[in-house]
A and B are shown apart, each in its own frame.
Chain A
Amino acid sequence: ETGVTQTPRHLVMGMTNKKSLKCEQHLGHNAMYWYKQSAKKPLELMFVYSLEERVENNSVPSRFSPECPNSSHLFLHLHTLQPEDSALYLCASSQAGVRMEKLFFGSGTQLSVL
């Protein structure tokens, strides 16, 4: 276990559904991230929260909405997704500082949009 827990592990949803992905870290880190991993593509950074403030939003469609209520919890709210949004969604945490510290990843949520 890496100390970063993601739920659910698998999710199948229709394009009209609303669902949320949850991430919790037990490492005392102050930065949390959402990454998207699609086949044959690099890991894509979606959102970064540092000290509970969003510091990065890489032109992600508004159908993805992050929420960080505290430094240990991170959510990704999903609504009206498209089939091309099917991917592995990875949460990660690190200790934010001057230099990028190593990322601790959760096991991911494998999302299928029908």
Chain B
Amino acid sequence: GQQVMQIPQYQHVQEGEDFTTYCNSSTTLSNIQWYKQRPGGHPVFLIQLVKSGEVKKQKRLTFQFGEAKKNSSLHITATQTTDVGTYFCAGDTGNQFYFGTGTSLTVIP
């Protein structure tokens, strides 16, 4: 069945280091969204990517949608302690959203 896989599952970085999480779908997606969930909190929408090869930036966060619209990445430059949380991708097949397994980011001060 449809699956959206994310790697890595966990990532520990020193504050100031970069961080990347990757999302891969078994089928072509019409669009992909990214969410952040702080510890003890609920998922909060970050961004949506629609076009093949699209790249969007939000301050230190860079989001990319693959050419084949099957994969996506989120890159954080110079992490800060406020970046701590779990980052989820969610792929839209046109019929349903499939959330990825998430990448839990720990930032060590």
Contact = CB atoms under 8 A, between A and B. Distances in A.
A103 interface: yes
Interface residues of B, number: 22
B42 A56 contact: no
What is the predominant secondary structure among interface residues of chain A facing chain B?
A: loop
Contact of B101 (A42, A99, A104, A105): A42
Q: Which of B35, B88, B99, B102 has the most CB of A within 10 A?
A: B99
What is the predominant secondary structure among interface residues of chain B facing chain A?
A: strand
Nearest to A43: B99
Interface residues of A, number: 17
Interface string A1-33: 010000000000000000000000000000000
13 contacts: A2-B42, A41-B101, A42-B4, A56-B96, A100-B31, A100-B97, A102-B48, A103-B35, A103-B43, A103-B90, A105-B42, A105-B43, A106-B42
Interface of A: 2, 40-43, 45, 56, 90, 99-100, 102-108
